[in-house]
Copies of this chain bind each other. A is one copy, B any other.
């Protein structure tokens, strides 16, 4: 590579010249639109405290399981990448050393979105002009470290620089939302929104369930020693989230099942869980029942219900024991929606205050299940390609598989779903480019007029996420 490392203005646009010209024109209509980030995992305390991001390894490598999983697959270990906390692990503490290992493994990211996002970030935000490698690692480290230390590189300043109009965090159901209160007091109440995530409370066989239940009781001030108290505590906390500006709830279940139990059975399972005698089958049924309850509450309080099913968490036991969850060992499984969502959609699919946004990591369901469902139920929106599918070719496949049945209007628009704050502009930009390419093809094939494509591009990038996440 003799030329300097730069971002090509046409990157991720279709190669065919006729289509590319159209794609450029369509992308131009969205590239400068503000970012609407309605689902993500940036820690709220970053915005509340507004302090510096630390060093390049802490910013880019250590917390990003997309990065570390790829390096692990090629022989690195999590401790050598700075991940780990147990006493007997020799966890690397030198950020420069971690950075070197990351740069030495740069080759392995070829063809992945991680590579695409990082290239965008390093060039655009940090002004890096050399491709990462063992040779260039130190120079890039110094450049990035210096940039991080600048005063305009703190989270709130980046909100402006990144043109983020609104960003949602994800918060446990028992959150007191103090950080969000501080942000509201500082004038960020409309810009940084909480999201209600009750997963651990809805799975009564998780080891931490009773502990988390105590947290819910403490936060809500409601006695949770009965099933009815438990529902009341959840409802109370949802109201707190609504008052703090929340637009949505978020639910990550292994199954999409939403079959309700009758009240007596739900009470019995809850009591068994409290007594420590719940079976795995009962707990699973209870978690489906609770999705139905969450939908019922959404139909009352208008919080948009996000469902992210189908990921088997912590596939390997040793890394989980040593390093905890979210370390790259979450693997998708077959997911069923048609039968699973039927109870909720039959009950609330036409309810004016209910909205569900469904995500999947099983792309088979786009054309078979989710697009047909979203194409008829007014309450259902099809979420953006999620997790492993948030990549150029996968996003294109999503458009091709889902649009013909669901149309554009039944989609949520892009959500970045990330904890990597600096990657947010890159992710939205990539999505806009991929959508421009897809729309350009429809125009080039005379399946859509150009004015319609321009209008749809703005819908997908801006209007649809705002509309889909409007509390109803």
Contact = CB atoms under 8 A, between A and B. Distances in A.
A8 B374 contact: no
A403 interface: yes
Contact of A388 (B1, B75, B371): B371
Interface string A335-355: 010110010011001100000
Contacts of A410: 73-74, 108
A405 B388 contact: yes
A73 B112 contact: no
Interface of A: 1, 7-8, 10-19, 69-70, 72-75, 107-113, 115-116, 131, 312, 315-319, 328-329, 331-334, 336, 338-339, 342, 345-346, 349-350, 361-364, 367-369, 371-378, 380, 388-389, 391-394, 397, 400-401, 403-410, 441-442, 444-449, 451-452, 455-456
Total copies of the chain: 3
Nearest to A361: B368
21 contacts: A1-B449, A7-B446, A16-B16, A73-B378, A73-B406, A74-B409, A75-B378, A110-B448, A111-B448, A315-B373, A316-B345, A316-B350, A319-B350, A332-B369, A333-B336, A333-B338, A333-B368, A362-B364, A393-B404, A394-B401, A397-B400
A449 to B, nearest CB: 6
A378 B397 CA distance: 28
Given A69-B376, A445-B392, A339 B333 contact: yes
A11 to B, nearest CB: 4
Given A131-B449, A391-B404, A391-B405, 11 more contacts: A12-B446, A12-B447, A15-B18, A74-B378, A107-B409, A112-B404, A316-B346, A332-B368, A364-B364, A392-B445, A397-B401
A307 B377 CA distance: 28
Contacts of A111: 403-404, 407-408, 442, 447-448, 456
A333 B370 CA distance: 10
Contact of A73 (B10, B75, B364, B375): B375
Contacts of A397: 400-401
B331 A14 contact: no
B345 A315 contact: yes
A372 B388 contact: yes
B112 A452 contact: no
Contacts of A388: 367, 371-372, 404-405
Given A372-B331, A378-B73, A317 B338 contact: no
A388 B8 CA distance: 38
A363 B375 CA distance: 18
Given A15-B19, A19-B15, A108-B409, A447 B317 contact: no
A357 to B, nearest CB: 14
